Amino acid sequence: MTNPASARIGLVASDPLRLVGMEAILSDLPGMEAVPLELDQIGSAPDVAVLILEARSGGDALQDLVAKLRREHPQLRIVVVGEGLDPLVIEQVIGAGAKGYLAETASEAEIRMALEVVLDGSVWAPRKVLAKLIEGGSTTASAASVGGDRIEKRMTAREREVLELLMDGRSNRAIAEALGIDEATVKAHLGRMLRKTGAHNRVELTLRAIEERSAH
């Protein structure tokens, strides 16, 4: 029986074996329900929270396909699964509206974390690519960090615990379990942390904290 609380994850892949493999991985992830789809079925698939799109499904027009899907289904969060980690390709698909990018070789743990982060409303991609995107488009965050205290110094003791777990790549659910609190409380902490630092989202906050720590 389908769990009504499960997040429905649409799967579009040109390779049937890859589709079966992704479906098997998702079946082992708690709170996830795999929904295999064809491109022309996306509009009629109810309640799909995230669409995993194999890059080969878009051929040479992958960027255009992502942009088209986002125009037609603005609430749909798209995660592209590609052959490699070419920063230019990743920047292009994120710029076209994708909320995440995974390599075909991604582990089950990485797929789980990516989906949870995207479901939380943030973007998932290799750290160097995200850092470049943030550097290029987040002047507010840069201004907020100039001349101010380090991020960790602005946090309460509990917020520093949340930050440590964010830097470890944990999702809201995993943070809640580790700290013995509920997800709503984690989200409330994150909201205050974003306001204190001027960061736009959890990914930007995490990257800035990691960069500050490595610089000291």
Q: What is the mean pLDDT of the chain?
A: 81
CA distances 123 to 53, 101, 115, 161, 173, Å, are: 15, 9, 10, 22, 17
Q: Which domains does the chain have, with CATH numbers?
A: 7-130 (3.40.50.2300), 138-215 (1.10.10.10)
Residue spans of the chain under pLDDT 70: 1-5, 59, 131-148, 169, 214-216
CB 214: neighbour CB atoms within 10 A? Answer: 7
Q: Which residues contact 4 (CB under 8 A, 6 or more apart)?
A: none
Quick one: pLDDT at residue 215?
A: 60
Beta pairing partners, 101:
80
Residues contacting 22, CB < 8 A, separation 6+: 11, 13, 34, 52, 81
Answer yes or no: pTM beyond 0.85. no
